[in-house]
Amino acid sequence: MKCLEECKKRQLPCKDADCRNWVDYSQDLNCCLLSIDKSGGGMTLVETAKRLGISHVRVKQIQDKAIKKINTKFMQEDIY
């Protein structure tokens, strides 16, 4: 968060590619936290794909797999 505030103040993209919040998208100062903040908390698959540099189809595949994992975990906990 500290680096995000610094980048916002300077209006320059972050150069710390080792930061866990870094994304190669200079329009959002290379920060996924700023991307989320600007979007109001949610992004379309196309917006997400653009920021990650992958296709929206791939983002959908990742989303589907994550939802399946969450549902499987939830069902396992519900049984016990």
Give me Rg for the CA atoms of the chain. Answer: 16
Is the pLDDT at 74 greater than 60? The verdict is yes
Is the pLDDT at 79 greater than 80? The verdict is no
Q: Give yes or no: residues 9 and 26 share one domain.
A: yes
Q: How confident is the model at residue 31 (pLDDT cuts 50, 70, 90)?
A: confident
As a whole number, the mean pLDDT across the chain is 87
**Residue 11: both structure tokens together:** 């209006």
For 22, phi then psi, to 5°, come to: -75, 135
Q: Give yes or no: residues 14 and 30 share one domain.
A: yes
Q: What pLDDT shows up at residue 71?
A: 92
Q: What pLDDT shows up at residue 42?
A: 83
> Can you give the residue range of the structural domain that contains 31?
1-41
Is the pLDDT at 78 greater than 80? The verdict is no
Q: Give yes or no: residues 73 and 60 share one domain.
A: yes
Is the pLDDT at 49 greater than 60? The verdict is yes
Q: How far is residue 9's CA from residue 19's CA, in Å, rounded to a whole number? A: 18
Domain count, the chain: 2
